[in-house]
């Protein structure tokens, strides 16, 4: 597996990471714990060194899973986790945002225990908290870095102004946001800003929450616990309309003797050398398929063809329901 550096801070990771959320949360029922451990360890054996989790995935159970799975390989891997939500102590449900410095430090201690480690490699603010100045948030993470409990600071789904303000207090190593062939908004302002400041980019949902794999149609039924049920872009009529994007990826996949998922990931890798996508999966064959994307080279002509064809497709449906959309880009 090829390696990449996230930003100027020399955080070296595998060119493709593993998003672990879906093993415990968000995309249907959690998978069996032992199955999750085996899958994460299979990723390590195949060269993946970058693993993404968060306290709210579960909540807590995903960090515990990742911690147990990676304990034997701790020195070989990079673990990213996140803070920034308030969790109801009795139910564990999300109850708003909380990036107060004292809360960040409490979350760090709890995450360290669950991850069975003495340092968090990359600590992201999960969503920007409008009630706490970003300078205070960055300062709290700076304290954790100076204490040796955190190595690198990141933001998730933040807007350009917030990125600049945070970076001025504690240099950011990475921004994590959604980016893929069917969500290209970061190209307008975010990616140029990251390039200017020397910050890496970690696209989540690089396969469009599974849509770009070509395995989801307008007739697909999701489990009742699956987040995609409330995503406007995944309404049956929008899935039908958005099939054009999948067809585009599928056409190039045939030419390259690859799968649609591999083309979608290779496209992301070709955008910038400091972009590291984190596709998630619960299946070994999908893990191997995703890893295979790192070996696919798209030429400038391939990229031009994709851009020309994609520019003629208007993707239908919002990527988040309204209440979640309010939490991004701040």
Structure confidence at residue 90 (pLDDT): 80
Of residues 178, 257, 284, 262, the one with CA closest to residue 214: 262
What share of the chain has pLDDT > 70, as a percent?
A: 100
Residue 329 to residue 275: CA distance in whole angstroms: 19
Distance of CA 189 to the CA centre of its chain: 19
Residue 54 DSSP label: -
Look at the alpha carbons of 221, 225, 230, 231 in this order and tell me if their dihedral is positive or negative. Answer: negative
Tell me the per-residue pLDDT of 251-293, one tens digit each, with 9 for 90 and over.
999 999 999 999 999 999 999 999 999 999 999 999 999 999 9
SS3 state at 153: strand
Residue 176 to residue 174: CA distance in whole angstroms: 6
Instruction: Note whether 42 and 287 are within 8 A (CB).
Output: yes
A 10 A CB-CB count for 120 gives 25
Q: What is the dihedral of CA 35, 177, 128, 162, to 10 degrees?
A: 150
Instruction: Note whether 301 and 294 are within 8 A (CB).
Output: no
CATH 3.20.20.100 fits 3-207+272-296, yes or no: yes
Residue 245 to residue 306: CA distance in whole angstroms: 10
Task: Write b or e for each residue in 31-69: b if 16 or more Cβ atoms lie within 10 A of its Cβ, otherwise e.
Answer: beeeebbebbebbbebebbbbbbbbbbbbbbbbbbbbbb
Could you identify the residue written with the tokens 């249907």?
Answer: 28
The counts of H helices and E strands in the chain are: 11, 11
pLDDT in tens, the chain (330 residues): 999 999 998 899 999 999 999 999 999 999 999 999 999 999 999 999 999 999 999 999 999 999 999 999 999 999 999 999 999 888 888 899 999 999 999 999 999 999 999 999 999 999 999 999 999 999 999 999 999 999 999 999 999 999 999 999 999 999 999 999 999 999 999 999 999 999 999 999 999 999 999 999 999 999 999 999 999 999 999 999 999 999 999 999 999 999 999 999 999 999 999 999 999 999 999 999 999 999 999 999 999 999 999 999 999 999 999 999 999 999
The torsion angles phi and psi of 118, rounded to 5 degrees, stand at -105, 0
Write out the catalytic residue numbers: 57
A 10 A CB-CB count for 121 gives 21
The torsion angles phi and psi of 136, rounded to 5 degrees, stand at -70, -40
């Amino acid at each position: 597996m090829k390696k990449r550096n996230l930003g100027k801070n020399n955080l070296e990771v595998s060119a493709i990471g593993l998003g672990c959320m879906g093993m415990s949360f968000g995309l249907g029922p959690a998978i069996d714990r032992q199955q999750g451990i085996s899958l994460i360890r299979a990723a390590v054996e195949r060269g993946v060194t970058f693993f993404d989790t968060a306290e709210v995935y579960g909540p807590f159970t995903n960090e515990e899973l990742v911690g147990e799975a990676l304990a034997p390989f701790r020195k070989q891997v990079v673990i990213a986790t996140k803070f920034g939500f308030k969790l109801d102590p009795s139910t564990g449900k999300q109850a708003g945002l909380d990036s107060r410095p004292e809360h960040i430090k409490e979350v760090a201690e709890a995450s360290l225990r669950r991850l069975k480690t003495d340092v968090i490699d990359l600590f992201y603010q999960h969503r920007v908290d409008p009630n706490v100045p970003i300078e205070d948030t960055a300062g709290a993470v700076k304290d954790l870095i100076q204490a040796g409990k955190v190595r690198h600071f990141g933001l998730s789904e933040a807007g350009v102004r917030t990125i600049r303000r945070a970076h001025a207090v504690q240099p950011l190593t990475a921004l994590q946001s959604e980016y893929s062939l069917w969500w290209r908004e970061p190209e307008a302002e975010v990616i140029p800003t990251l390039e200017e400041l020397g910050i890496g980019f970690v696209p989540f949902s690089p396969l469009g929450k599974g849509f770009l794999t070509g395995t989801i149609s307008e007739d697909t039924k999701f489990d009742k616990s699956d987040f995609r049920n409330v995503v406007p872009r995944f309404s049956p009529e929008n899935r039908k309309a958005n099939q054009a994007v999948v067809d585009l990826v599928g056409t190039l996949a045939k030419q390259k003797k690859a799968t649609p998922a591999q083309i979608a990931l290779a496209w992301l890798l070709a955008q910038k050398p400091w972009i590291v996508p984190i596709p998630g999966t619960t299946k070994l064959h999908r893990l191997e398929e995703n890893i295979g994307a790192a070996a696919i080279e798209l030429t400038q002509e391939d990229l031009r063809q994709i851009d020309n064809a994609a520019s003629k497709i208007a993707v239908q449906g919002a990527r988040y329901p309204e209440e979640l959309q309010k939490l991004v880009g701040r």
